[in-house]
Structure 1
Amino acid sequence: MIGVCLGLTSVVWAQLSVSHFTLAWDHTIEKIRWEEDYRVTEQGLVLEEARVRGNGAGMEVPDDARLENGSWHYRHPLPPLQPLRLGRTPEAGDYQLCVDGQCHALSHWVGAPTTRHPFIQLWPCNTG
């Protein structure tokens, strides 16, 4: 089964058997929640939709975004991401990975953010 691997430069720290997930975080300055929905494919991680709960520094909402339930929803056409690289430092806090409505910090699977490893990568992999 295809799922998602978490780690660095193809060194797997954790594997999750999922076909879809939401990546969520709070903007480090504005403290506004941001969410991105991904579909896992052989070609990479496909961004299906993004949501942000407001505007702020570096958080401009696209012109075609629509306001629904307090969040701006939009689609940003990108090619499949392989890998998806996320900056992760103790000062910025951690990302949450949500599956079927349950969210856990990435530290649940790979440990707390450190200055030694200031980023992490996610990519599709065989988990079965």
Structure 2
Amino acid sequence: MAGAMVLGLAAGDRFTLEWTHSVERETWRETWEIVTPDGSPEKRLHLVEAAVKGSGAGMEPGPGGHFEAGWWIWVPDLAPVRELVLAASGETPSAWTLCAAKCVQLGAHAEAPLHIAPCAS
């Protein structure tokens, strides 16, 4: 796949995505884990924590959220997903920052949507 970036993560590994909200200009951070749901041979992405560095339209902390070190933090109650699709308009105040073993910037310029998914093996 031309221009693709591959990040090899095993089940149980975690990564974070961080970005600046396009309207409210506040930082948003999500922590994801690679999981293998019971009875499924397929790896999935599971959102294990979300945090926002402020509040505003569409940025309210979820149920059970608490304030810690300048962040509203909560544990979303969502089922694991096959992939994440990130918009990359180039018009937002920041790129997406994906951090696993190291951090990389994604989507700083206008390009096709970015897909993040566990590798098949």
The alignment's TM-score, normalised by the length of structure 2, stands at 0.79
Number of positions where the alignment pairs a residue of Structure 1 with one of Structure 2? 111
Structure 2 counterpart of 1:33? 27
Q: Larger relative CO (CA 8 A, sep 6+): 1 or 2?
A: 1
Point out the structure with the larger strand share.
1
Q: Which amino acid aligns with 2:67?
A: L
Q: Secondary structure at the match of 1:62?
A: coil
| Distance in structure 2 (CA, Å) of the matches to 1:77 and 1:84 | 16
Structure 2 counterpart of 1:113? 109
Structure 1 counterpart of 2:44? 44
Please tell me whether the aligned partners of residues 25 and 35 of structure 1 are also in contact (alpha carbons under 8 angstroms): yes
Please tell me whether the aligned partners of residues 43 and 120 of structure 2 are also in contact (alpha carbons under 8 angstroms): no
Structure 2 counterpart of 1:91? 91
Structure 1 counterpart of 2:117? 123
Structural RMSD (CA): 2.2
Please tell me whether the aligned partners of residues 30 and 50 of structure 2 are also in contact (alpha carbons under 8 angstroms): yes
| Distance in structure 2 (CA, Å) of the matches to 1:16 and 1:91 | 25
| Distance in structure 2 (CA, Å) of the matches to 1:87 and 1:97 | 14
Gap regions ≥5 residues in structure 1? 1-6
| Distance in structure 2 (CA, Å) of the matches to 1:21 and 1:99 | 5
| Distance in structure 2 (CA, Å) of the matches to 1:126 and 1:96 | 23
Gap regions ≥5 residues in structure 2? 36-41
